Amino acid sequence: MAEKCKICLIRDMAEKTDIYEYVKKTRAMLPEAERASDELYENRLDVCKECDSLLAGTCQKCGCYVEIRAASKSAKCPIKKW
């Protein structure tokens, strides 16, 4: 059985630039008080990039785009990795 292509994040997928623009806009629209700091956001994405549940920018446990979930301060990883 062939392995599925595992692409880490939407921003890394050249053909998905329209979706990544949506991710950036969504993050920018979050109120400042709710938006995760750049450091927290990147730390969360680093954890997601190492997770076996990540496939093409999507968490296979909950179905979210990890780059959107990670943007909110109050968001939690569905399998408690962050």
At position 78, the amino acid (one-letter code) is: P
Is the pLDDT score of 18 beyond 50? yes
Q: Give the contacts of 71 (CB within 8 A, at least 6 positions apart).
A: 23, 26, 27, 30, 35, 36, 41
pLDDT for 19-75, tens place per residue? 778 888 889 999 999 999 999 999 999 999 999 999 888 999 999 989 999 999 999
User: Would you kindly state where each structural domain of the chain is located, as residue ranges?
Assistant: 10-69
Q: What is the pTM of this model?
A: 0.78
The reported pLDDT for the residue numbered 59 is 95
